[in-house]
Amino acid sequence: MRIIPVLDLKGGLIVRGIAGERDLYKPIESRLCSSARPAEVAASLRNLLGPGPMYLADLDAIAGEAPALEVCVELEGLGFELMIDAGIRSAASARQLAVELDGDLIAALETLPAPALLAELVEELGAGRLIFSLDLADGRPLAPGDDWPSEAEEIAREAVSAGVERLILLDLKAVGTGEGPAHLDRCAALKESYAGLELVTGGGVRDLDDLLALQSVGVDGVLVASALHDGRLGSEELQGFLEA
């Protein structure tokens, strides 16, 4: 299981996400570095974790503004491997991002107007580059319209039927709370139902025990931010995970 650090980008700076209340997010304060500049935060995370993918959420783009392409291009130019959520709302917006950027692209439930778009995006980007984020709020799908099913399991089924091979299960209300993984049972059920599905989850991860619990149900990757910056998951804990 990979540990995937999170970069929440807002107003050109990395911010700390808490419970999905994005209007209240403030520039990150971290034990790893003294800056909220994206390149410096990313470098500090790579120093801790080693090379590997990073999840970048462009919160301004998700809210409907233009994507911060210059930040993504800068990070990619510095050798960072990115999984980018830049508020994809159409095949055309995905196409533009695919031309400008090298990283994997996330199509998130909260910005996709209809499930029919998923098949278009799989065709446009390829199943290897597209990641579908099944966004939740307190366990309920965070869908932008009535075209989506009301249950998370039904949405996952539609996504897989559309050709999605990589899925993020993310409960925004759990982000930054330190209350532990919100959906262990749901993750286990997804892996049991779709054996070939690459599953990443995040939100609320506190410590080594949480990492081991997620690994035990077959999760392929876990998104982590606060626990890294606070030092709850430091080099000793991460080494313990690798040796477990």
Mean pLDDT, range 52-75, rounded to an integer: 97
Give the CA dihedral 128, 60, 31, 216, nearest 10 degrees.
-40
Q: Are 238 and 52 in contact (CB under 8 A)?
A: no
Cα 68 to chain centroid, rounded? 17
Q: Look up residue 22 and give its two tokens.
A: 């994005």
What's the DSSP call for residue 16? E
Phi–psi pair at 51, nearest 5 degrees: -65, 150
Q: What is the pLDDT of residue 21?
A: 65
**H or E stretch including 90?**
none
Q: How many helices (H) and strands (E) does the chain have?
A: 10, 11
pLDDT grade for 34, boundaries at 50, 70 and 90: very high
Domain range 2-243, CATH architecture:
Alpha-Beta Barrel (3.20)
Q: Look up residue 38 and give its two tokens.
A: 């994206």
Q: What is the pLDDT of residue 169?
A: 97
Distances (CA, A) of 133 to 72, 171, 230: 19, 10, 26
Half-sphere exposure for 194 (CA within 13 Å, toward CB): 21
Q: What are the residue boundaries of the structural domains of the chain, listed by start?
A: 2-243
Q: Are 85 and 104 in contact (CB under 8 A)?
A: no
Instruction: State the residue for tokens 């897989």.
Output: 160
Q: What is the pLDDT of residue 177?
A: 75
Strand ranges, E, within 172-239 = 198-202, 221-224
pLDDT digits (tens, 9 = 90+) for 198-209: 999 998 899 999
Q: What is the mean pLDDT of the chain?
A: 93
